[in-house]
Amino acid sequence: MSNKALEIKNLSFKYRHNSKETLKKINLSVEKGKWLSILSRNGSGKTTLIKLAAGLLENSSKGSIKIFDQEVNQENFASIKEHIGMVFQNPDNQFVGPTVQDDVAFGLENKSIERNEMIERVDSALKDVEMIEFANREPNSLSGGQKQRVALASVLALQPDIIILDEATSMLDPKGRKSLLKLVQKLRSQYKITVIAITHDIQEIEQSDQVIIIDGGKKKLEGKPAKILIEDEKLESFGLEVPFTKRVRKRLFELGIILPNDYESKEMVANKIWKYYSKM
């Protein structure tokens, strides 16, 4: 068996009622236990790619998709589904139970997990996401960040090998986003789960081992976050917003205030800016 959680080869895809191909010759692979971020502006094909990989969309396309060496197709759908847990953008659409613990138990009930094991798994998943004290609360009474933690617990309780975050942080504030991603990172390393995160926000790639950028259905860039983050101009051409601090550094460099690889303390940079403007 290979060490690949996901392997996509030469994948092209066209929706039936769409004249253009949505995905064009995509190749990518993710090793077990690693974190891949798929980054692109809206409408570039990332959701389509992930739906195909999770077997949620029939692969009437060219190319192959494998999850743990198993081809993703209609015949293998049930066993592919066992490997994958998905957390979506809007937690409100994911709740089914009257309380947090009922909600986390729901997926286990569907799998006819024995009662004692179910209680244990719900308890452990809620502890993992630091929501155990909310077990008896109504899901609708929680904050956005807490709701996403519960959604994550529902997925964790099913013990997936791969967690897909489908813009899972986009309804949270910056603090909530950071905290959810940090939590996912902790659980990834604790349980050796593979994470695939799709996002249009470049600030979210920091935790990943590998990033791919898709634009117009094609893979345009691939690498580690540090490599991706220095490609300011390319990022802008793919409609991605370069982080504010990077834009400031770029401007300071253009003005000759700092050197390109000048990573001095904030105080020293502030001092240089002060000197620059004092001379004007």
Ligand X SMILES: Nc1ncnc2c1ncn2[C@@H]1O[C@H](COP(=O)(O)OP(=O)(O)OP(=O)(O)O)[C@@H](O)[C@H]1O
Task: Out of 7, 26, 44, 134, name the contact with ligand X by CB under 6 A.
Answer: 44
Task: Out of 36, 39, 40, 149, name the contact with ligand X by CB under 6 A.
Answer: 40
Task: Out of 1, 19, 42, 233, name the contact with ligand X by CB under 6 A.
Answer: 42
Q: Is 154 in the site for ligand X (CB under 6 A)?
A: no
Per CB under 6 A, which of residues 45..74 are in contact with ligand X? 45-48
Q: Between 54 and 126, whose beta carbon lies closer to ligand X?
A: 54
Q: Is 169 in the site for ligand X (CB under 6 A)?
A: no
Answer left, alpha or beta for residue 124, where phi above 0 means left and psi between -120 and 50 means alpha: alpha
Are residues 183 and 126 in contact, defined by beta-carbon separation less than 8 angstroms? Answer: no
Task: Out of 22, 37, 61, 194, name the contact with ligand X by CB under 6 A.
Answer: 22
What is the C-alpha R_g of the chain?
21
Q: Between 129 and 240, whose beta carbon lies closer to ligand X?
A: 240
What b-and-e string marks burial along 110-138, b requiring 16 or more CB atoms within 10 Å of the CB? eeebeeeebeebbeebbebbebbebbeee
Segment contacting ligand X by CB under 6 A, of 36-44, 70-78, 177-185, 220-228: 36-44
Q: Is 239 in the site for ligand X (CB under 6 A)?
A: no
Nearest residue to 239 (alpha-carbon basis) of 79, 24, 44: 44
Q: Is 194 in the site for ligand X (CB under 6 A)?
A: no
Q: Report d(CA 133, CA 235) in Å as an integer.
A: 42
Query: Considering all CA atoms of the chain, what is the largest pairwise distance in Å, rounded to the nearest integer?
Result: 75
Q: Between 107 and 217, whose beta carbon lies closer to ligand X?
A: 217
- Sheet with strand 194-199: strands edge to edge: 84-87, 162-166, 194-199, 35-39, 210-215, 218-223
Q: Is 200 in the site for ligand X (CB under 6 A)?
A: yes
Give the number of residues in contact with ligand X, rule: CB under 6 A. Answer: 13
Q: Which residue is nearest to ligand X (CB)?
A: 47
**Positions in the binding site for ligand X (CB under 6 A):** 15, 17-18, 22, 40, 42-48, 200
